[in-house]
Structure 1
Amino acid sequence: MSRRTGRTLLSLLAVVVALVWVFPVYWMVNSSFVSNAVLQQFTPRFFPGEYFTFANFQSAIADGSFFGALGMSVSITLIVVAVCLGFAFLGAVAISRFRFRGRTSFVLALLLIQMLPAEGLFIAQYKMMSSVGLLNSILGVSIIYVAAVIPFTVWMLRGFVAGVPAELEEAAMVDGLSRFQAFMRITFPLLAPGLVASGVYAFLQAWNEFTVAVVLLPAESAQTLPLWLRGFVQASATRETDWGAVMAASTIVAVPVIIFFLIVQGRMTSGLVGGAVKG
């Protein structure tokens, strides 16, 4: 009975924590469906009710910079995810399957790079991109994002590759497969959860990144969605911020992340807790 009571209390606590965590997201979505005048009323409305409207979303989408920012964010995110997974996969295989001089130093370098504060690199990154003419460009931002994300993705994938016994590949080679065929047919499918988990990390870093984008994208014509969202206010500077439209814009920015999580959630869950071969 005491054990059952303890589980019940822990379950209730988990529900409370989940509600506290999800309430800001719910309030953002709820606020996006009511007008700014309703939001400014003293009594909060937890449901749009008769004030339900799509006008906020229409206002956000009608903004002249929205589709340009959306295209830039999508392009940068796709490049970062693809390049990071490719290089991180090769790096993880190298340090897990092969023994070479400098291997330990390379692994330690991956950890040390993660300790560097991003703010301390802004000046160097700006001057570097400026000297090669890559400011306000998709390529310039993608290069910096890839350099920032790869160390952690390599370290994450290393655990998954190391968790797959090399004896599986050796057994496949005994059956007549080449080393490459054995790796692609035996090991690579077992690494799918790790690739998904690493891809989610790279996706979130590229899609939501703000500070580096502020430095490398100073032009108003070159903005990612976080930068566009920062400047999404009423056209007239003398008028107050339309919080309903801002909440709608924030919801639009969050929707791709939610959709991506729904698609990969199964693989991601096993990827976050996996790293070993079962069965």
Structure 2
Amino acid sequence: MQITKMNLKPFYALWLVMTAAYAVWMAFFLKFDTYPGNETGINGSVGRYIAWGIFSVVALLLFQLYIKLFFGEKKPGKGLRLFCLINLLFGFAFITWYGFFRNPLELTASMIGLEFPWHFKMWGLFASLSIFTNVLYAYRMDNYCGKLGITCGSIGCAAIFVTINVPSAGEDLILNSLRCMSHWTGALLFAFLGAGSIVIFLLHKTREKNIRYTIVTVLFGAVLALMLVLLVTVGKNGLIESLPMWAAYLVLFLINFTGLFRTKESPVLEQPKEAVTK
């Protein structure tokens, strides 16, 4: 399938449904929950709640625009390339800075968010925006019609908006707690589906028998596996939580803004000219 003939309507529909569901949840359900205002940053003020609700809904609607921009008839130019680079660097810097508000060996981003709820909201917003747009850029510049990857990335980015609105219930997994399960579900969907959108692209590129893509795919998979092992053996903390995100930022930077994976093109052989007979 040619990239310019890719049907984008299913992605628009997906984002409209997710955004509408989020807007209804914000308007009619979340505001009646009993989460302490100091843990959400929004329940203590009606005006602040409304402002955040409108802002976050608009932020979700913009994800449709990103898809349209990157998968238009023309490939992204220097402007979008610069936008992605700034997004990537700022996203990496922000989540790293935020993660050290408190000792990352003791607290996760969610636990830090109980004390810094607005920073946690921006953490989710910047992380989803920077990773999603750079995945789209990688797909588009490679002319890759990765429908599954775009779908995974879309659902993951929408899910993190649940997590940043529902404060953490603590380090333990409480299966009968709606607050705990909502927070964890959003975070896990963002982590696994976001990583999945990158893995799908890497696996696609390994078929080209580019050894560098193969090495990066193995290393990225190893980081994800290491995180799971550490979660089981050591437990949750900010550093373990940040490992796959740092790896994702590094992989996307290498793909989009370096020539690491570039291979020498075979020279074009000129066709012999026909002899001119007199």
Same fold (TM over 0.5): no
> Larger Cα Rg: Structure 1 or Structure 2?
1
Q: Which structure dedicates a bigger proportion of its chain to helix?
A: 1
Q: TM-score, normalised by structure 2?
A: 0.34
Higher relative contact order (CA 8 A, sep 6+): 1
Q: TM-score, normalised by structure 1?
A: 0.34
